[in-house]
Amino acid sequence: MHIGIAGVGLVGRVLALNLLRQGHTLTLFDEDTAYGDKAAGMTAAGMLAVFAELESAESAIFEHGQRSIALWPALLAQIGIEDAYSQEGSIITAHPQDYAELDHFIEALKSKVEEASEIELLDKAGITALEPDLEQHSRAFFIPQEGQVDAQRFMKATSDYLLSHPSVTWHQEIKVEEVKEGQICFAGVCETYDWVFDVRGLGAQDDMSDLRGVRGEVFWLDAPEVNISRPTRMLHPRYKIYIVPRPNNRYIIGATEIESEDKSPMSVRSSLELLSAVYSMHSGFAEARIINMVTNCRPTLKDNLPAIIQGEKLTCINGLYRHGYLLAPAIVEEALSKGILK
């Protein structure tokens, strides 16, 4: 089939990799360049927090998350970056005055899915054995099944792969005006395909009335004095932060969650909260260098859950909210199983 895809963000790329494996020919459209940074998928930390996200999500997220974790290694192998995936578990901790909150958080997870019983309580010795740099903490939980995808490497490697693939035509910097049954319209013309996908994320707002953006801000820090190897969260009554390690002592610190579609630069309040929280986690961050501050919006539906909307020669996938990396492989698999490939 000749398939048109509107939007080459996270979902568009996962979709393209799946469709190419099945032998289809693809025409891709994005309003950004292939290496641009407009997609939320470019901003994401790439955490596969299948348990930690459960506190504020439904158990359907858990099932899709587990399926995605099984699918990620093959997707990354397809584009030659197997090492952009790691699954060495994650850590959740808190300051001593917030231990009740930490215990409550874990109890909430355990009440939602049976598998959460595998979450381990760590004392000071247990924390130090896993992450020596977090030795100042005396209570934490270890979630062995969680992992991460290096989101920025995934985005770059998919650009390289798709641009050089003989079955792909990629129209860059083309704003799609409308996606309808078997057609993608831009610059006043509509092109016809055997099937089309609308995966424009927040860009599909004109066609999905309950789609909203949820602002998220992250820091990138260069911290030679910090050696944390696993995604680590700190719970706090007002804000929750995470530290996601990348090679060469680089860390993503995030993320705010603000009901706003404003993509302007990070606010003073957010920067104070994120940086003071991360410094309180590890004093080695005091001398870290701020190498980037990024803002983007998560495409989110009313119920904060993803949706697959199937029409005649048209599939829309949207609403992946804060779970794009956690869910995209499984959601795409589900969409393809009920759509053109059934």
Ligand X SMILES: Cc1cc2nc3c(=O)[nH]c(=O)nc-3n(C[C@H](O)[C@H](O)[C@H](O)COP(=O)(O)OP(=O)(O)OC[C@H]3O[C@@H](n4cnc5c(N)ncnc54)[C@H](O)[C@@H]3O)c2cc1C
Minimum separation from the CB atom of position 215 to ligand X (A): 8
Residue 213 in the binding site for ligand X (CB under 6 A): no
Residues 281-340 that bind ligand X (CB under 6 A): 296, 298-299, 318, 320-326
Residue 155 in the binding site for ligand X (CB under 6 A): no
Query: What is the C-alpha separation between 265 and 58, in angstroms, rounded?
Result: 31
Phi/psi of residue 23, nearest 5 degrees: 90, 10
Residue 245 in the binding site for ligand X (CB under 6 A): no
Collapsed DSSP state (helix, strand, coil) of residue 178:
strand
CA distances from 4 to 56, 79, 188, 212, 266 (A): 34, 21, 17, 24, 35
**Residue nearest to ligand X as judged by C-beta position:** 9
Residue 150 in the binding site for ligand X (CB under 6 A): no
Q: Which stretch binds ligand X (CB under 6 A): 23-31, 71-79, 129-137, 308-316?
A: 23-31
Q: Which stretch binds ligand X (CB under 6 A): 10-18, 120-128, 221-229, 281-289?
A: 10-18
Assess contact for 15 and 317: CB atoms under 8 A: yes
Q: Which stretch binds ligand X (CB under 6 A): 8-16, 88-96, 113-121, 260-268?
A: 8-16
Residue 17 in the binding site for ligand X (CB under 6 A): no
Residue 184 in the binding site for ligand X (CB under 6 A): no
Residues 32-71 that bind ligand X (CB under 6 A): 32, 38-41, 43-47
Residue 15 in the binding site for ligand X (CB under 6 A): no
Residue 140 in the binding site for ligand X (CB under 6 A): no
- Name 299's bridge partners: 213
Q: Which of 3, 4, 5, 8 binds ligand X (CB under 6 A)?
A: 8
Query: What is the C-alpha separation between 227 and 251, in angstroms, rounded?
Result: 10
Assess contact for 146 and 72: CB atoms under 8 A: no
Beta strands in the chain (DSSP E): 2-6, 25-29, 47-48, 85-86, 90-94, 120-123, 139-143, 147-149, 168-171, 176-180, 183-186, 189-192, 195-198, 212-222, 232-235, 241-246, 250-254, 289-300, 307-311, 314-318
Residue 175 in the binding site for ligand X (CB under 6 A): yes
Binding site for ligand X (CB under 6 A): 6-12, 29-32, 38-41, 43-47, 175-176, 199-201, 203, 216, 218, 254-255, 296, 298-299, 318, 320-326
